[in-house]
Structure 1
Amino acid sequence: MRLALAALLLIPLPALAGDPLTAAEFEAYAQGKTLTYAMGGQVFGTEQYLPNRRVRWAFTQDVCKEGWWYEEAGLICFAYDGENDPQCWKFWQDGARLKAQFEGDPEGTELTEVEQTTKPLSCPGPDVGV
């Protein structure tokens, strides 16, 4: 009986909901996709995940920002051209969708993936391309 219990403890279990994704897990999930996020039931913005950890982000009905992401202290951080401070998030999977919580926000800003596509992010504007 003890031997059977010990053997069961050695079997790897799937990550529990809410366990933060590592950089490798986040990259495997997001690269090549364009994900739309909502907060409180309202669409918040959309991000396209490009090769080499590059990103293209736009708040709903706003211009696109180019940037990149990296892992720091177990968080996924985003730095955008023209922005001084990176924005760091904890990402985890909730079923088939991604969720994210903004680090350092006392209100606990939480985003939920509501749409996923492989199409590029549409970036209308005079000097922004797709």
Structure 2
Amino acid sequence: MRALFVALVALAAPVLAEPLDTEEKFEAYVGGRTMFFHLGDGRIYASESYLEDRKVRWSRAPGDCLDGDWYEDDGLICFVYENNPEPQCWSVELTRGGLKATSVRGLTPLTIFEAGDGEPQECLGPKVGV
């Protein structure tokens, strides 16, 4: 009976969470889309547009954006932004509730809402006269 239970759990695991741990899997899922992030409470924390050639545009505040790049490194999805050359790497899974990203540096896991195609952020550019 225990062997049957273990076998059923093993078969069900891919349904519960699928790692998006390669460039091809991740790009196929997010490419050309804008995703919205929350910290588990449902309130929007930030958004990120996934552009051509593995470029990204991150925004934590409306109108304030950072450009960057993403790449895969040993099963993790890593991001480098124009204001910080230090890679930020995440384990990304597709779950029943959407994407979930867990930082390798112990940051709070992010839950990702899917916004769909063609909804890039509005970026106002650098602050002028401040």
TM-score interval, smaller chain:
0.7 to 0.9
When the two structures are aligned, how many residues end up with a matched partner?
114
Greater fraction helix: 2
Structure 1 residue runs without a partner (length 5+): 1-11
Aligned to 2:96: 95
Matches within 5 A, 1:46-125: 46-61=47-62, 63-95=64-96, 97-105=98-106, 108-118=107-117, 119-125=119-125
TM-score normalised by L of structure 1: 0.76
Please state how far the C-alpha of 1:18 moved relative to its aligned partner: 3.5
Gaps of 5+ in 2: 1-10
Could you tell me whether the CA contact under 8 Å between 2:49 and 2:56 is conserved in 1? yes
1:59-118 Cα distance to aligned partner (Å, 9 max, x none): 13461000000011110000001213110001111126111111121xx51111224132
Letter in 1 for 2:33: K
Question: CA deviation digits over 1:18-47, x for unaligned, max 9?
Answer: 342122111000000000010031321100
RCO greater where, 1 or 2, for CA within 8 Å and sep 6 or more?
Answer: 2
Give the match for residue 15 of structure 1.
14
Secondary structure of 2:27 counterpart: helix
RMSD: 2.3
